[in-house]
Amino acid sequence: MKLPRVLIVEDESAIAELVAVNLRHNGFAPIWAESGDAAQRELDAVLPDVILLDWMLPGHSGVALARKWRSDPRTKAVPILMLTARSDEPDKVAGLDAGADDYITKPFSAQELLARIRAVLRRRAPEQVTDSVTIGALVLDAATHRVSFNGQQLKMGPTEFKLLHYFMKHSERVHSRAQLLDKVWGDHVFIEERTVDVHVKRLREALSGAGSMIETVRGAGYRLTAQAQAAA
Ligand code: CA
């Protein structure tokens, strides 16, 4: 399993080291950048799963960096957790306005920091924290992007994978096309509901023997059920 990468942007080495040690001991891969420029080089090379961004940095303010990364298509989806020594409300609001997902006020406990990191990961990238889902003989591993049925690897496109992941996490429930568009495709309002049917068809084909687990519920939508598998 790939460890979630956490980019620590912090000029104070004592704080950065303490945070890095705690992250390493708790299943994360920390990378330290001591300035905005160093952080930018890291981001250009490999995208992290979370950025821990100090408010006060030499050269750039954390808020300016948050705003810049949020407006860059490459980094805009990476969760940003701001570290701030200031506790007054206007600054927190400025950080959140700039696109930070959350903030944490120094001094903070390691447990609090880990909880906040897990929370932003869960919100922004749920596949990072829930690694695999199993329904009957169907297994989806989100960390490796693999799906298998009866131990046999199945190949599918990225949209079918996301759709299956959503179905498996919410199995036995009926989802309307509009709900699926909202949850799986996100805010792309220009996609027609018929698109869902196209991808469900492709997903069934990709699932082959397990295809019957995706049921059409007339007039309502689709559901993934473990029952059909037993009958098939
Ligand atoms: Ca600082």
**Distance in Å, CA 58 to ligand 1 centroid:** 7
Distance from chain centroid for Cα 157 = 18
195 is in which domain, residue-wise? Answer: 132-231
**Distance in Å, CA 125 to ligand 1 centroid:** 27
Mean pLDDT of the chain: 87
60 compared with 133, residue with greater pLDDT? 133
3-state SS, residue 143: coil
* In the predicted structure, residue 27 carries a pLDDT above the cut 80: yes
Q: Which two tokens stand for residue 231?
A: 């009958």
* In the predicted structure, residue 148 carries a pLDDT above the cut 80: yes
2 compared with 119, residue with greater pLDDT? 119
The tens digit of pLDDT for each residue in 45-64 reads: 999 999 999 988 887 788 89
Which among 67, 159, 192, 140 is positioned nearest to 130, based on CA atoms?
Answer: 140
**Distance in Å, CA 132 to ligand 1 centroid:** 38
**102/112 Cα distance (integer angstroms):** 12
Quick one: 15 and 107 in the same domain? yes
Give the residue-averaged pLDDT of 89-93: 69
Q: How many domains does the structure of the chain reveal?
A: 2
Quick one: residue 146, left, alpha or beta (phi over 0 = left, psi -120 to 50 = alpha)?
A: beta
- pLDDT in the model for residue 100: 86
By the CB criterion, residues less than 5 angstroms from ion ligand 1 are 11, 54, 56
Give the end of a domain, one of 122, 152, 184.
122
**Distance in Å, CA 9 to ligand 1 centroid:** 9
The tens digit of pLDDT for each residue in 67-90 reads: 999 999 889 889 999 988 766 666
CATH of the domain at 38: 3.40.50.2300
**124/50 Cα distance (integer angstroms):** 9
Quick one: 34 and 111 in the same domain? yes
pLDDT above 70: percentage of residues in the chain: 91
The tens digit of pLDDT for each residue in 111-130 reads: 889 889 988 888 776 555 55
**Distance in Å, CA 47 to ligand 1 centroid:** 22
